[in-house]
Amino acid sequence: MTDPVTRLLRERDVLLTDGATGTNLFALGLANGASGELWNVEHPDRVRSVVQSFVDAGSDIVLTNTFGANVFRFALHKLQGRVRELNMAGAALARDVADKTGRTVVVAGSMGPTGDVLEPLGPRTMSEAEEAFHEQAEALRDGGVDLAWIETMFADNELEAAVRGAQRAGLPFVATMTFDTGGRTMMGIRPSDAMRRSKSLPARPVAFGANCGVGPAQLVDSVLGLAEGAEPGDIIVAKSNCGLPTMGDDMRVAYSGTPEVMARYAYLARNAGARIIGGCCGTTATHVRAMADVLATSKRSAPPTYEEIERALGPVRKITTRPDRAASTAGAPAA
């Protein structure tokens, strides 16, 4: 059977994902350093309200509150025996919201990295990582997700382990990597190469792309790089941080992106080649609604030049190998 993301993309040019789960939970009282996933059972109403806010803002895809819900990250909170419980609870909360919307909303099971570097550079083996991801994926599946959303990956081997875990659970998957070190992942992978390498994963992703990173301008350039390595039919994901982070006097991280900035980012990300667009750290429902509005009232145009990106979003380090075009006269629409 075809997954729901692919079915929706047969009808639409672009799908809108959600924003940042963690940022919004912090705003509701989650303490720095605490496990947000524990709130799936301790404060389910607050988690549900975050998911609902994104659905109300226009999200077609919502991620579960399970980013760090694997045995290795949970060990930091002494929660390693509660992987199945908290993943199933997070999936069930998002599923309940999605099923009550009156339209198709895809529930994606968020699976972040283990937090460890895998062999041969680190202590964690591929088989250990695969088992951890499999445990998480099975719980997400049983909680009701439509597919796995493997995100914020920086190494090929950990991405492969996560894919194998999702595959063993019978889940289709979306995968995104983070290009935040000179336009590469922490392990030195360029977006164009990551897209090409995605063809050799143990299973084919529903979509592949970039998330997090160092702000909307660089994320749009990552999309251009992904498009450079794409083949016809490949679906590219863009999920940028909401501007750049700053540390406040209260020791909480804040992000500089306004709804207008994120609307311009969404417009340019689509033009760069993305068909699934959303926000990562710092992105609230207000930002998502601004992205929904600009995507609904504008059409896909030519890929942006660097001049257009920088005029709309700020400086960007060029990471694609394509020759830049002369600046167009269109630019991004006012948001």
DSSP state letter for 83: H
Task: Give the integer Cα–Cα distance in Å for 235 and 46.
Answer: 32
Task: Give the integer Cα–Cα distance in Å for 176 and 225.
Answer: 13
Residue 60 phi, psi dihedral angles, 5° rounding: -90, -20
Task: Give the pLDDT band of residue 7 (cuts 50, 70, 90).
Answer: very high
Task: Give the pLDDT band of residue 335 (cuts 50, 70, 90).
Answer: very low
Rg (Cα) of the chain, in Å, rounded? 18
Strands 274-279 and 147-153, how do they pair?
Answer: unpaired
Q: What is the pTM of this model?
A: 0.93
Average pLDDT, the chain: 93
The confidence score (pLDDT) of residue 234 equals 97
Our CA dihedral for 279, 319, 184, 32, rounded to 10 degrees, sits at -30
The confidence score (pLDDT) of residue 37 equals 98
The confidence score (pLDDT) of residue 330 equals 40
For the chain, domains (ranges, CATH) are 4-313 (3.20.20.330)
